[in-house]
Amino acid sequence: MVKTKLNDTCDLCGQKLTIYTKSHKHIPFVDNKLYDKLCFTCCLVPKTSNQIYNSNGTIKEIMEIPYSKDNLFTAKELFIAGSCDSLKEATISVDAVVKSIKSSGKTKTKKSPEFVWSLA
């Protein structure tokens, strides 16, 4: 059996894939583009909820927010949430998503897709 080499980098940011999604192969990402494989970090850049906390630090309420180019996590927020291994990795993903949104020229995005994750 012949093994073919898989593209082992994110189609958006170019970072090495460890966990990836194919959820945006047929459903446009926040930049209104389709991607065969997106890394975990890039996929989580669009913010889809806001958490409101009690005074003791527990979550009081989770509010759903629109899947939009205007609602994005910062690199620091992604890193603190554990969505990536380093702040540098988060910065590369956030910068790639923002650059792609700016280059797309689109202003409206569709609803957030349901994610299916795979291990590379």
pLDDT value of residue 19? 87
Per-domain boundaries in the chain: 19-104
**What whole-number distance in Å separates Cα of residue 37 and Cα of residue 109?**
19
Between the CA atoms of 62, 64, 69 and 71, what dihedral angle is there, to the nearest 10 degrees? -20
Give the model confidence (pLDDT) of 65-103 as tens digits.
Answer: 999 999 999 999 999 999 899 999 999 999 999 999 999
Give the model confidence (pLDDT) of 31-64 as tens digits.
Answer: 999 999 999 999 999 999 888 889 998 989 999 9
> In the chain, what's the furthest Cα-to-Cα distance?
60
**What whole-number distance in Å separates Cα of residue 29 and Cα of residue 101?**
10
Stronger pLDDT, 53 or 120, i.e. the higher one: 53
